[in-house]
Amino acid sequence: MPDEKSNPHPDWEQLPAEPLPHPTYFPAGLAMGTAFLFWGLITSWVVFVVGLVLFGASLAGWITEIRNERKHH
């Protein structure tokens, strides 16, 4: 009987040895900022500005995190 731990299913492939990125909240912040941007277009300029700030801060944070992660590898 084959070793089930090394290959549990004959059609499956082994995962690559690359490390996975660390979890982060920046994608969720980017999505919320986008929602606020569009919500602000139909409601109020205050909501639009909050969405713009949230979108910009999340995008900048996510890009910074990716750049720092690539520097360390």
Rounded CA separation 52/58 (Å): 10
- The answer to whether the CB of 54 falls within 8 A of the CB of 37 is no
Alpha carbon distances (Å) from 38 to 25, 26, 35, 73: 20, 19, 5, 37
DSSP single-letter state for residue 10: T
pLDDT in tens, 20-71: 778 899 999 999 999 999 999 999 999 999 999 999 999 999 999 989 887 7
Rounded CA separation 54/72 (Å): 27
Alpha helices in the chain (DSSP H): 26-42, 45-71
Provide the residue type at 49 as one letter: V
- Is the model's pTM score more than 0.75? no
Domain boundaries, the chain: 26-71
